[in-house]
Chain A
Amino acid sequence: MNYIWYFLIVISIVFGAINGTLGEVAKAIFTGTELAVKIVLTLLGIMTFWLGIMKIAEKSGIVEFLSKLLNPVARKIFPEIPKDSPIIGDVAMNFSANALGLANAATPIGIKAIEGMQQLNKDKNSASDPMCTLLAMNTAGFQLIPATVIAILAANGAENPTEIILPTLIVTSTAFVSAILIAKLLKRIFPPQKESEVTNAD
């Protein structure tokens, strides 16, 4: 992450200087911070609401029910997480919210799932294997119906905006399955997490 962050900024500044857009680049620092705060404020409200709803779901046994229901699949995708752990229920709800296109609900629920994974994590500073898999599931953007895109197409006068549903579903399911498989593959290639300060050539 250190290198990626460095390169994003250095490329922006160097290219900005060559391209004559250095002024815009400098201005982007302030618009960027503003945007970040705006996102956090929006997230703050949504997060508070959904963590409240999720606590109700947890206490009423819905999360546990989903955990049990999905246990066979979850065993394959998240072998590191203990059987019947509520984390699996959170992951299931996160997936369902994503599939239904409810990004606002999916994020807080997903964060609840990753918090659970952090409690099992042996090195709190680095991402554990189940975390990488959870994020693979989330970054692949699986969605049954791309409602936003259909709305934009319809607003611009497309003849048949819903014709993109099937192709999008094919693409997004392929990306989703590949993301999980890639995570499984990279897990074997990347060095395992360190216990804590035990040194291991970096």
Chain B
Amino acid sequence: MPIREFIDILSLWALPSIILIILTVALVKKVAIYEAFIEGAKDGAKVSFNIIPYLVAIIVAISMLRASGVIDALALSCSGLLDKIHLPADVLPLAFVRSLSGSAAIGVFSDIVSNNDINSYTSKLAAIMLGCSETTFYVLTVYFGAIGVKKYRYALLTGLSADLIGIIMSIIVARFFFI
């Protein structure tokens, strides 16, 4: 399969080639690359430690929410409505979880794939939904945590609206391609 090979090569080379380009251009321009690296890297620890309180606050809350089972209960209670919009009940937890936690989303996806035929509409829809998701809560927490911003204004609403559009579009596109 040529597409598979192309993707494997791209995933393999993306990172190394970026680093190679940056270092080579820098060396040609006579930048003291080692000194520059150390100078920039010094800030790494400071920024990461700034994030800790924000991350603990949000990850504890999300872990609690997941442990309570409320997401699964919600998914179960609206399964009737879901059939009408071609969203299989199995996929709904993924729709919720993908905004909250990246590792949990991959876990839910693996569950879906093992409980359904891998070549079914359900698995493919879940794959698309996972492929276009970014954990909104995590991104906001880390970015705003790094600079100490506490009032998010419309950032969360924007992120969640985009997530919702992603979910709706996933269903439309999956139906178009795979039904």
Please measure, in the bound complex, the distance between the C-alpha atom of A141 and the C-alpha atom of B136, giving whole angstroms: 9
Please measure, in the bound complex, the distance between the C-alpha atom of A48 and the C-alpha atom of B157, giving whole angstroms: 31
Nearest Cβ in chain A — how far from B150, in angstroms?
Answer: 5
B22, B64, B109, B170: which contacts A8 (Cβ < 8 A)?
Answer: B64
Known pairs A19-B73, A150-B7; A60 contacts B25 (CB<8 A): yes
What residues of chain A lie closer than 8 Å to B106, measured between beta carbons? Answer: 148, 152
> Are B44's CB and A101's CB within 8 A?
no
> Are A101's CB and B65's CB within 8 A?
no
What residues of chain A lie closer than 8 Å to B47, measured between beta carbons? Answer: 47, 51, 111, 115
What residues of chain A lie closer than 8 Å to B155, measured between beta carbons? Answer: 127, 131-132, 135-136
B84 on the interface (CB 8 Å rule)?
A: no
> Are B158's CB and A56's CB within 8 A?
no
Known pairs A152-B109, A164-B127, A172-B131; A101 contacts B52 (CB<8 A): no
What residues of chain A lie closer than 8 Å to B136, measured between beta carbons? Answer: 139
> Are B67's CB and A139's CB within 8 A?
no
B78 on the interface (CB 8 Å rule)?
A: no
Q: Which residue of B lies closest to A113 (CB)?
A: B143
Please measure, in the bound complex, the distance between the C-alpha atom of A106 and the C-alpha atom of B68, giving whole angstroms: 32
B81 on the interface (CB 8 Å rule)?
A: no
Q: Which residue of B lies closest to A159 (CB)?
A: B119
> Are A56's CB and B22's CB within 8 A?
yes
A24, A36, A175: which contacts B68 (Cβ < 8 A)?
Answer: A24
Q: Which residues of chain A (151-186) have a CB below 8 Å from chain B?
A: 152-154, 156-159, 161-168, 170-172, 174-176, 178-179, 182-183, 186
> Are B40's CB and A43's CB within 8 A?
no
B63, B73, B118: which contacts A31 (Cβ < 8 A)?
Answer: B63
> Are B169's CB and A175's CB within 8 A?
yes
Secondary structure class of chain B's binding surface, majority of residues: helix
> Are A48's CB and B44's CB within 8 A?
yes
Bin chain B's interface residue count. 35 or more
Q: Which residue of B lies closest to A107 (CB)?
A: B142
Q: Which residues of chain B (55-78) have a CB below 8 Å from chain A?
A: 55-70, 73
A70 on the interface (CB 8 Å rule)?
A: no
> Are A12's CB and B166's CB within 8 A?
no
Known pairs A49-B41, A59-B31, A115-B146; A153 contacts B113 (CB<8 A): yes
Could you tell me which B residues sit within 8 Å of A by CB distance?
1, 3-4, 7, 10-11, 14-15, 18-19, 21-23, 25-26, 29, 31, 33, 36-45, 47-49, 51-52, 55-70, 73, 106, 109-110, 113-114, 118-119, 123-124, 127-128, 130-134, 136, 139-140, 142-144, 146-159, 161-163, 165-166, 169-170, 173-174, 176-178
Give the 7 A-B residue pairs with the shortest CB-CB distance, closest first: A55-B40, A48-B44, A141-B134, A146-B131, A32-B63, A52-B41, A32-B60
Could you tell me which A residues sit within 8 Å of B by CB distance?
1, 4-5, 8-9, 11-13, 15-16, 19, 21, 24-25, 27-29, 31-33, 35-37, 39-40, 43-45, 47-62, 97, 100-102, 105, 107-108, 110-111, 114-115, 118, 124-127, 131-132, 134-136, 138-141, 143, 145-150, 152-154, 156-159, 161-168, 170-172, 174-176, 178-179, 182-183, 186-187, 189-190, 193
Given contacts A56-B36, A139-B163, A171-B170, 15 further A-B contacts (CB under 8 A): A4-B156, A12-B61, A28-B66, A29-B60, A29-B64, A51-B40, A56-B23, A57-B22, A126-B151, A127-B153, A141-B133, A171-B166, A175-B163, A187-B154, A189-B154
